[in-house]
Every structure is written in structure tokens, then in C-alpha cells.
């Protein structure tokens, strides 16, 4: 944690932008903490608040677009493979339909509420053939919440970022693990019920 604070203190907004970009591409950087620090150093007068917000937002949007495009390029190869097998092709078509229909909101929530899942969702959205404009709009809205929240919390509670970083990183883990637990729980329950009726 301190190492990342120190990086921001030394190299400024560039660290914020680059880390935001890379963390959208599965590079394990705690960008939330970097944004907190960026906000805090804006409050102390070391950095410009607008520059921190801008760098984090630009990095996030670029990173997400890159992931989406990688997914799209990779996805078309998968489809080519799938088309050779009728059974797989059928499942694939279903998955693609689901992404096209419900992909937007999934992208939205994966940018902020379930941020650790974001990079995966971007790739899946690209591979699943989500419309580029739909992706961009949902993504831009979600990232505004993600970036705005952390930078402004850092700005407002600058003196407390060490404590806040501990609380927030654990809270994110709790929400992500909690949502996945619920999802798996529902799936298990359905299977259990299906078994009983047999």
C-alpha cells in the first residue's frame, strides 16, 4: 500500500493514469488505492484534482476498450472453432445472445461495484459480440462512478487514506465474494430442486 502511495507522491498523475489503464487489463495493481492517493495529494495541493480525475478516467476508458477489442478479436477465433462442432455452436449462440441482451448492465456494474471482475467482463463482452457503442456508453457511465468515488473520497478524507484504503479494499473483497457466493448458491439451489423433481 505505502509503496503505491509513494509512487503517486513521486511521479504524480502519470502513475494514476497508467495504473488505471493496466488494471483494466488484468495487471494486478491496486488502482483504487492509487486513486485514493491521487485524490489525497490533490487535497494537499501537490496535484491538480482535475488532472487526477482526467488521468484515471482516460486510463480506465482506454484500458476497457483495449480489453473489449482483445475479446472481440479472440472471440471470432473461438467462433470459428465452435462452428466445426454443432453442439458447441448451439451453446455458443445462446451465450452470445445473452451477452447481446444483458451485456450492457453487466459491463456497467463490473466497472465499479464489482471492479475486480471488470477486465474479465470486458473480454467476455467483446468475445460475446456486444455492440461497440452499447459497451462504450455503459462502460463510460460505470467508470465515471468508479473514478469519481475513489478520487473524491481521497480528496475529502485526505488525512485518513491509510485507514480508508484498508476498509475499502476489504469491503470490495466482501462485495465481490458475496455476490459470487449468492450466484453460486442460487445455481446450486436450482440444481438441487431439479434433482428432487426427477
Partner 1 sequence: MSVFFKQNRVLIFAFALLLAGSLFFGWNTFQHTAHYRAASQDSSVEAWMTTRYIAHTWRLPRETMESLGFERQSDGPRPLSKIADERGVPVDTVIAEVEAAIAAHLAEMTQ
The site for partner 1 (CB under 8 A) is made up of 2-3, 5-6, 8-10, 12, 40-41, 43-47, 158-163, 166-167, 170-171, 173-174, 177-178, 180-181, 184-185, 187-188, 191-192, 195
SS3 of residue 139 by DSSP: helix
Longest dimension (CA), the chain: 67
Name the residue nearer to partner 1 (CB basis): 114 or 130.
114
Name the residue nearer to partner 1 (CB basis): 98 or 180.
180
Q: How far is the CB of 110 from partner 1 (least distance, A)?
A: 17
Q: How far is the CB of 53 from partner 1 (least distance, A)?
A: 17
Q: What's the start-to-end Cα distance of the chain, in Å? A: 53
Name the residue nearer to partner 1 (CB basis): 130 or 164.
164
CB 5 within 8 A of CB 130: no
Closest CA to 116 of 11, 27, 6, 186: 27
List the grid coordinates of 188: 446450486
Name the residue nearer to partner 1 (CB basis): 11 or 74.
11
List the grid coordinates of 67: 480489453
Q: How far is the CB of 187 from partner 1 (least distance, A)?
A: 7
Q: How far is the CB of 195 from partner 1 (least distance, A)?
A: 5
List the grid coordinates of 134: 452499447
Closest CA to 91 of 105, 104, 81, 103: 81
Amino acid at each position: 500500500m505505502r509503496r503505491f502511495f509513494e509512487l503517486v507522491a513521486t511521479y504524480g498523475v502519470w502513475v494514476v493514469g497508467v495504473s488505471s489503464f493496466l488494471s483494466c487489463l488484468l495487471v494486478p495493481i491496486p488502482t483504487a488505492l492509487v486513486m485514493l492517493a491521487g485524490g489525497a495529494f490533490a487535497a494537499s495541493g501537490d496535484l491538480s484534482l482535475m488532472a487526477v480525475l482526467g488521468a484515471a478516467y482516460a486510463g480506465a476508458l482506454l484500458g476497457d476498450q483495449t480489453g473489449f477489442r482483445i475479446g472481440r478479436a479472440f472471440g471470432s477465433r473461438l467462433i470459428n472453432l465452435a462452428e466445426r462442432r454443432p453442439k458447441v455452436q448451439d451453446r455458443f449462440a445462446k451465450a452470445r445472445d445473452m451477452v447481446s441482451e444483458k451485456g450492457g448492465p453487466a459491463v456497467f456494474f463490473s466497472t465499479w461495484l464489482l471492479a475486480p471482475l471488470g477486465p474479465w467482463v470486458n473480454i467476455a463482452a467483446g468475445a460475446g459480440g456486444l455492440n461497440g457503442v452499447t459497451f462504450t456508453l455503459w462502460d463510460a457511465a460505470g467508470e465515471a462512478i468508479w473514478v469519481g468515488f475513489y478520487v473524491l473520497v481521497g480528496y475529502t478524507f485526505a488525512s485518513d487514506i491509510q485507514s480508508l484504503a484498508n476498509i475499502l479494499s476489504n469491503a470490495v473483497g466482501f462485495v465481490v465474494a458475496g455476490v459470487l457466493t449468492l450466484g453460486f448458491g442460487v445455481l446450486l439451489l436450482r440444481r438441487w430442486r431439479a434433482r428432487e423433481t426427477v
